[in-house]
Structure 1
Amino acid sequence: MASSTTTSGQMHRVTDGSVHTPLGFKATGLHAKVKRKRKDLGVIVCDVPASAAAVYTLNQIQAAPLDVTRESIAEGGTLRAVIVNSGQANAVMGKVGVADAYEMRDKTAKTFGLDPRDVAVSSTGTIGERVQMEKILPGIEALQPEATAASSNAFAESILTTDTCTKETCYATEIDGKTIHIGGVAKGSGMIHPNMATMLSFVTTDAAIAPEHLQQALSEITDRTYNRITIDGDTSTNDMVLTLASGKAENKPLHPGHPDWAHFIQTLECVCEAQSKQIARDGEGATKLVEVNVKGAPTAEDAGKISKQIVGSDLLKTAVFGTDGNWGRIICAIGYSGVTIDPETIDIAIGPHLTLSQSEPVDFSEEAVTAHLEQDEVFIEVDLHIGDSSGKAWGCDLTYDYVRINAGYRT
């Protein structure tokens, strides 16, 4: 296990940490030959019943694995494993899709000596194609999860679709004098516009926390992280964030009245934000991560809504790609966000460069703004001057390659 010494009240990133780092968890992935070359089947297994919480896509068309996972969690609020395939989404497949999802659950349970209700199921890939069960079922039998960085990376590879890289992170902190870890693996590159998106995120922790409190924490944090990323405005059918807590750190069970509750929330949010930014950075064809911070809003909800509206603007995204400091596209998005604002009090900065003050243009260096827009990370800040709340959102630029990738997605 990676080094994870902590100081009380502090947290730090764990080098090479991932979903295997929290005590009690193992993972792996392999090539079941659904895809031509890349890994396409993975599993996370916990040694003990883990408190479970999940947030799902709000698309009204939902893939069969989501219903199966909901059922498993509802049985007792705990899980022992999650099985994931990539290549076929098992979405809009009718009764056969439901049967396949249950068969994946049952096969995983049998392979690892679990009750079927201990297993969650997740799929990602092309909608309307049946999962190749003749390859998936033998693949499940061949999975051999381990608590190593290499095995977690194999899992991270197995869930990718159009992603260009794996997305893993882990943080350690101290609760009740015990070191706890929170690790995450995610996938997502296109069809990203939560609530949720074509993204999957699996988060593990060895903190002790009851399912209902874990759900409360995850739901709250999702609104500020995963639901603040957008790439192309499309909300998918399969997407899910699943969090498992083994309790093996042996802290006193966390709850909203626990003295370290806020610290736990902060650490979990740090992991979820890191995963969200990794997804946004890896947007299909993207060359830049864009972060928008809106402050001076009446409520955090208003700030989040405006920041997401800005980062989701195709005109803004293409301006970032073209390194064009056109702040007019920013204020336009603010105006149609649906949030009540004062049109006379808005400040806009691109990077450190103020371009609008109290809704009036200011002199700025076009060359300096262009230089900022040429960076891998672009920052935009808006101050509405009508409140004390703030919120962030993340996205990417819109490039020629986005069209190329999606025009040939099935070919």
Structure 2
Amino acid sequence: MYQVIEGGVAAASGFRVGHTAAGIKYRERVDMALLVSDSSCAAAGVFTRNVVKAAPVLWDRRIVREKGTARAIVVNAGIANACTGQRGLGVCGKTADCAARALGLAPEEVLLASTGVIGMDLPLDRICAGIGAMASDLQSGPVAGHRAARAIMTTDTSPKEAAVTLTLDGKRVTIGGMAKGSGMIHPDMCTMLCFITSDCAIEQSLLQQALATVVPDTFNMISVDGDTSTNDTCLLLANGQADNRRIDRKNEDYEAFVKALSAVCGSLARQMAADGEGASCLFEVKVRNARSDAEARILAKSVVTSSLTKAAIYGHDANWGRILCALGYSGVDFDPDRVDLYFSSEKGKIQLVKDGLALDYSEAKATDILTAPKVTAICDMKQGDHEATAWGCDLTHDYVTINADYRS
């Protein structure tokens, strides 16, 4: 069993972080973070499936696949270094060189991530100056991790952090992480940017498998606006400093590690969905009794991404027809005359539909339930015994306002 603790990406032993205001795009706030491990780490990663991939994605994917080890991650907010061609890849190489010199590492030990406006060139002089400033002031612990989480935000209104501990081989193992993501969130692998650290001793191939195992039911089950980013990156580093018996096969220790990792990823995913651009509530969709896990995931995401449903949630309108419609165009075949629909929140639970037909429910009660900060739609398909949960948010006027002038 794992235990939730305070902290984030710097909670695990042997990891230190820094932050700085480099002035890359923002002039009045921090916009860079640096994560460093005291020893070499097994490195795992999942990346965007968007055909248009940012330069840092290409850089990281090569290192994870070819080397499988790393020591540091440099992150900047404000400019994405996407659609910048060979210039962008050159900036990646020079950024890694700067970090390597500042930290006494090889460039191939440095991973990179960027988020922000597409098509702009990163100012290399500011990037390198920021790395130098951070390298001289690296710290561990929850306060340092929190500051780093704030440094990677763009349109986010709050930092996203999570950490857990568990016991493996009689040793205390920690997993912690930070993420950013508020808009352009419709992952097809993970999320905008996410960085997870652990002091667990585990083989790189199993670390990669663990990450790939938890992504489908966590990061791949969130959506804010249906747009899959060019920069989606989730990196997981494990330095082995917990000194547990190295996990080299899929045994009980591996399964316990996967469950704890899933808890961290699930928490970060829900935090991102709740902080969707302009959002006023977290919208959760639970599909029950589907024929398979795959169909349950498809159905849940179809509802959570429906613009009409999201607008109805914002208006506190129990318009169940939009939910049934979204289920119907998901691509999953089911019997609509067997579906039951419910809304629930901290203010109560109400059934709206039974066997595909509306019940004589109280609109006033339904509206009151929908005014809560977290609203859940429950879709009972009565087709099997599989289930899935997706997370999103309502669609508000502020979403349009934010994205109408994002580049300014």
State the TM-score, normalized to the length of structure 1: 0.95
* Partner residue, 1:266: 259
Shift of residue 392 of structure 1? 0.6
CA distance in 1, matches of 2:101, 2:298: 45
Cα deviation, residue 341, structure 1: 1.0
Aligned residue identity for 1:25:
F
Alignment counterpart, residue 8 of structure 2, candidates 18, 22, 36? 18
Whether 1:389 and 2:379 are equivalent positions in the alignment is no
Give CA-to-partner distance per residue, 1:148-186, whole Å, 9 cap, x none: 222212211111111111111111111222111110100
The more displaced of 391-400 and 242-251 is: 242-251
In structure 2, relative to structure 1, the CA distance for the partners of 1:255 and 1:390 (3 Å cut) is farther
Answer yes or no: is the 8 Å Cα contact 2:316–2:370 preserved in 1.
yes
8 A Cα contact 2:190 2:234, kept in partner: no
2:30 aligned with 1:30: no
Q: Which of 112, 118, 127 pairs up with 2:118?
A: 127
Within-5 A mapping of 1:75-90: 75-90=66-81
Aligned to 2:288: 295
* Deviation, structure 1 residue 256: 5.0
Residue 178 of structure 2 aligns with an amino acid whose one-letter code is: V
TM-superposed deviation, 1:197: 7.0
Matched, 1:406 2:403: yes
In the TM superposition, residue 324 of structure 1 has moved relative to its aligned partner by 0.2
Q: Which residue of 2 aligns with 1:361?
A: 358
2:148 matched residue in structure 1: 155
Q: In structure 2, what is the Cα distance between the partners aligned to 1:105 and 1:36?
A: 24
Give the alignment's Cα RMSD to 1 decimal: 1.2
Structure 2 contact 47–61 (Cα < 8 Å) conserved? no
- Could you tell me which runs of 5 or more consecutive residues in structure 1 were left unpaired when the two chains were aligned: 1-9
Aligned to 1:114: 105
Matched, 1:95 2:62: no
- Measured in 1, the distance between the counterparts of 2:258 and 2:143 equals 28
Aligned-partner residue type, residue 51 of structure 1: A
| Cα deviations by residue, 1:344-397 (Å, 9 ceiling, x for unpaired) | 211111112111112122222212211111000001111111111100100000
Structure 1 outlier segments of 4+, above 4 Å: none
3-state SS of paired residue (1:344): helix
1:275 alignment partner, SS class:
helix
Structure 2 equivalent of residue 309 of structure 1: 302
With over 3 angstroms needed to count, the CA separation of the structure-2 counterparts of 1:197 and 1:244, relative to structure 1, is: closer
* One-letter amino acid matched to 2:105: L
* C-alpha displacement of 1:254: 2.4
The runs of 5 or more residues in structure 2 that have no matched partner are: none
- The structural deviation recorded for 1:253 is 2.2
Q: What is the CA–CA distance in structure 2 between the aligned matches of 1:287 and 1:256, rounded to whole Å?
A: 44
Alpha-carbon contact 1:304-1:390 (below 8 Å) kept: yes
> Over residues 132-162 of structure 1, what are the superposed CA-to-partner deviations in whole Å (9 max), with x where a residue is unaligned?
1121111111112211222212211111111
Match of 2:132 in 1: 141
Contact 1:198 1:237 in 2 (8 A): no
Q: Using the alignment, how far apart are the partners of 1:396 and 1:402 within structure 2? A: 11
- 2:368 corresponds to which residue? 371
- 1:4 aligns with none
Q: Report the Cα distance in structure 2 between the residues aligned to 1:339 and 1:261, rounded to whole angstroms.
A: 33
1:408, distance to aligned residue in structure 2 (A): 1.1
Most deviating of 240-249 and 188-197: 188-197
Q: CA deviation at 1:29?
A: 1.0
- Say which of 52, 57, 63 aligns to 1:66: 57
Kept after mapping to 1: 8 A contact 2:290/2:386? yes
Q: Provide the C-alpha distance between the structure 2 equivalents of 1:197 and 1:14, rounded to a whole number of angstroms.
A: 23
| Separation in 2, partners of 1:367, 1:247 | 55
Aligned with 1:260: secondary structure? helix
SS in 1 for 2:36: strand
- Structure 2 CA distance, aligned partners of 1:288 and 1:306? 21
In the alignment, residue 33 of structure 1 is paired with which amino acid? G
What count of residue pairs does the alignment treat as equivalent?
Answer: 401
Q: How far 1:260 moved relative to its partner?
A: 2.7
Alignment partner, residue 47 of structure 1 = 38
Matches within 5 A, 1:185-204: 185-196=178-189, 199-204=192-197
Shift of 1:74: 3.1
Identity of aligned residues (%): 41
For the residues of structure 1 that align with 2:332 and 2:287, how far apart are their CA atoms? 12
TM-score by length of 2: 0.96
Farther off after superposition, 365-374 or 184-193: 365-374
Partner SS state of residue 241, structure 1 = strand
Q: Distance in 1 between matches of 2:106 and 2:323?
A: 52
Q: How big is each residue's C-alpha offset from its partner over 1:298-350, in whole Å with a ceiling of 9 and x where there is no partner?
A: 11111011101101000010000000001111100000000121222111111
SS of alignment partner, residue 32 of structure 1: coil
**Aligned match of 1:6:** none
* Counterpart-to-counterpart distance in 2, 1:274 and 1:215: 20
Deviation string 1:260-311 (CA, Å, 9 cap, x unpaired) is 3222211110100100000000000000001111010111111011101101
Q: CA deviation at 1:11?
A: 1.8
Q: Is the 8 A contact 1:79 1:244 kept in 2?
A: yes
